Structure 1
């Protein structure tokens, strides 16, 4: 049999663009691969997987470079990067789009908007569509349209093959339906290398946005009003709230509504009447402006970061709200925040076992964020996130697999709940020799100790 060769755009440590090529969004916990292959077509992915297996080379899969714990990088191994594969083809008669795995959300949203359509997905423009989708996909259209993975129709993926080394298969509700189930919330990099995704589309035009800001003294009442309103209001409205440090002294609630500004103003009455807001605005805008509004350019810049998260299945009691306030009063720096997004709506209309994404009963997803400037500040920042997660754990459930945290010991239960056993069965069927592995990858059943 002919030996495999790497094809595509190849970068090694000797190349001038290596530093840029190896750098992910998170500068913390850096990795130094021996070779990075930027695949331009599916055949390049097949060749890369075959080459890695023939040479017994450790490898990782990468797209948007937003793996919070840098699980998409490896020291002294191969990175199979699909970000050069970014074609998007729209079929308006069928209201579907086929999107290459390397497309980022900015590219996806802009292209779909040209046709007056969209998919529900995340907010940061440089995030890759594939990683977002495979983990679930939470964003500003989650409540009306569901998670990104709920709108997935089919994937093309390269899996490990016993005889050929690698083969291309399609997974949907008819073919390889078990892999398709696992690919809707089971996380990226566990079963194969996804090369394209097909989605159902939603028509979109004008939407209404809001932003309400409170000062530090309204912390408790503002958050309590938001958490008891946001998951239960009109499902056409998805919102988020960001709790900033005492130093910054702001609580900011924002959201996106598929409807008029007049309707939105009425829906917002419970928030508008809470505390003493320092600013309130409501605007009706083209959907493209909403995409720009929620994008965070700072989130797209490489930095030293630590993130973790959890779900709320019931509102926080007053004691938990006070704990958040205490932590933000003693934050390691002013970039530190606690962020929450409302769920339920279409997300909760699907049973927890229907897809690999388990937390269908959650009312809110939350994220603990910090970033810092100098490597020596790492310890105190990571400690802050870990201590906060533990302090809130009596009131929370699990964690979102797209907010991975290497300090979570029971990660398999935290990410996947009761779906973990079935995910391991799918892993055993499609990757029995554990070819696709990283620090928190799903193990096949016979390999689990």
Structure 2
């Protein structure tokens, strides 16, 4: 990566870490382990260490768990040793990269967290059009490194999300309608299996495992240490934002749903519907093209909302990396970015669904009613337009099944006071249930412990094939958590 491009504040997880080998003393009731059993290697953080509380923290402040140990792996061998150490002791394992699991599933009480966030390398082969990326790299690290050689990878907009979790669950972003999901650009993985073996999965070697890594969810089949991706040339893009008064929500929604899923595939449009108290709704998006072309392409959106006058509208053309910063909340000047190694904690409840058909008046009214009753102004529903390159892939070509969806929905609530939590969680759950007649499925990267029939919701008809792959690669469920795929 270009030196000095991103200023990073020190990672709290590094404080108190000891680069050493640990056998760790036995817990009550734990059987003795042979002295030849593997020891933990890498940067190990234990309860009582100065950096332990930082190391066990996840991005969603709702969840606080206390692992027996956290190992920050420096290479694949550290991962091998960690898996063997845990299985020898019967300790539960959690794989972790960016700490963004909505339900905090990447940490566990009294188990071992295997953290790959120190595996951050990005190696680009411009001639071959590929990049080999460490499983711990966050998206802003990836985007910046690729930008230095004029290429990119279609991925998400949150700068501190880890590339591992994003890819393994699918990976949607502002380039996806043009270039596909992140997992559609995945060529190979290096993975440590439940038995502690380092394997490669690509189109020729272990192709079923590669298929499972293309949307089958993180933490199911092994722990990935590196990804090989196809890259794409990139230069300037154009971005836009249009806002309307909240009172025009239903008219704006009608116009957006008629336009966004069927627009030029170089254009991605996101509709943000906040709580009524916020005062306005907005549409934002990005085009792989110039501003003049974007202005022409979004004209139908303006034409369809006649009678609903925008309160503001803007179009800008800029280098792609600047747009990444703008959508990621970093600002438009990469030289001024200051990125914490992980996003600051927040308290929230998010969940998801997919729309496979246009909403009628009843569905739109249900959404509007839910937003009118939101308990705080920090509640919203976000809709990401699908179609384009996402929809050209067959639903069973990768593990990600939601190819025919017109758009995804994400129901979100954020709060700062503990007293608001119960009401916000109930609001998200209530709106999700109210919308069930009009939607189906859900996105594993927006995992929600309340989703009924979750295996079918997240994986659809691909669930049975994923269960068979799980039975081959992890029949004893070494990698098991509340939403892990059960073996067939």
TM-score bracket relative to the smaller structure? over 0.9
Deviations 1:27-69 (A, max 9, x none): 1132111211111111111110010001111120100000000
Could you say what secondary structure the match of 1:402 adopts? helix
The number of aligned residues is: 441
RMSD (Å) for aligned C-alpha atoms: 1.2
Corresponding residue for residue 385 of structure 1 = 428
Q: After the TM superposition, which of the residue ranges 290-299 and 193-202 deviates more from structure 2? A: 290-299
Alpha-carbon distance in structure 2 between the residues aligned to 1:216 and 1:397: 26
Decide which of 77, 81, 87 is 1:43's aligned counterpart.
77
TM superposition shift of 1:301: 2.2
1:351-362 counterparts in 2 under 5 A? 351-362=394-405
Alpha-carbon distance in structure 1 between the residues aligned to 2:115 and 2:271: 34
Could you say what secondary structure the match of 1:124 adopts? coil
1:62 aligns with 2:96: yes
Deviations 1:107-135 (A, max 9, x none): 00011011110000000000000100000
1:412 aligns with 2:455: yes
Alpha-carbon distance in structure 2 between the residues aligned to 1:264 and 1:237: 8
Corresponding residue for residue 225 of structure 2 = 195
Deviations 1:151-170 (A, max 9, x none): 00000000022xxxx11000
TM superposition shift of 1:270: 1.9
1:324-363 counterparts in 2 under 5 A? 324-363=367-406
1:169-184 counterparts in 2 under 5 A? 169-184=199-214
Corresponding residue for residue 145 of structure 1 = 179
Alpha-carbon distance in structure 2 between the residues aligned to 1:312 and 1:43: 43
Corresponding residue for residue 313 of structure 2 = 280
- Contact map agreement 2:93 2:478 (CA 8 A) in 1: no
Gaps of 5+ in 1: none
TM superposition shift of 1:13: 1.8
Deviations 1:409-446 (A, max 9, x none): 2000000000000000000011111111000100111x
Alpha-carbon distance in structure 1 between the residues aligned to 2:481 and 2:417: 27
Alpha-carbon distance in structure 2 between the residues aligned to 1:296 and 1:19: 26
Decide which of 199, 208, 230 is 2:260's aligned counterpart.
230
TM superposition shift of 1:312: 0.6
TM superposition shift of 1:300: 2.9
Corresponding residue for residue 260 of structure 1 = 290
Alpha-carbon distance in structure 2 between the residues aligned to 1:270 and 1:15: 59
TM superposition shift of 1:249: 1.3
Corresponding residue for residue 5 of structure 1 = 39
Structure 1 residues 213, 247: CA separation in 2 closer, same or farther (over 3 Å shift)? same
- Provide the TM-score with structure 2 as the length reference: 0.89
Structure 1 residues 375, 59: CA separation in 2 closer, same or farther (over 3 Å shift)? farther
1:270 aligns with 2:300: yes
Could you say what secondary structure the match of 1:169 adopts? strand
Corresponding residue for residue 77 of structure 1 = 111
- Provide the TM-score with structure 1 as the length reference: 0.97
Could you say what secondary structure the match of 1:93 adopts? coil
Corresponding residue for residue 291 of structure 1 = 324
Corresponding residue for residue 335 of structure 2 = none
- Contact map agreement 1:272 1:280 (CA 8 A) in 2: no
Deviations 1:380-400 (A, max 9, x none): 111111111111111101000
Alpha-carbon distance in structure 2 between the residues aligned to 1:11 and 1:233: 50
Decide which of 249, 272, 287 is 2:279's aligned counterpart.
249
Gaps of 5+ in 2: 1-33, 331-339
Corresponding residue for residue 14 of structure 2 = none
1:300-449 counterparts in 2 under 5 A? 300-445=343-488
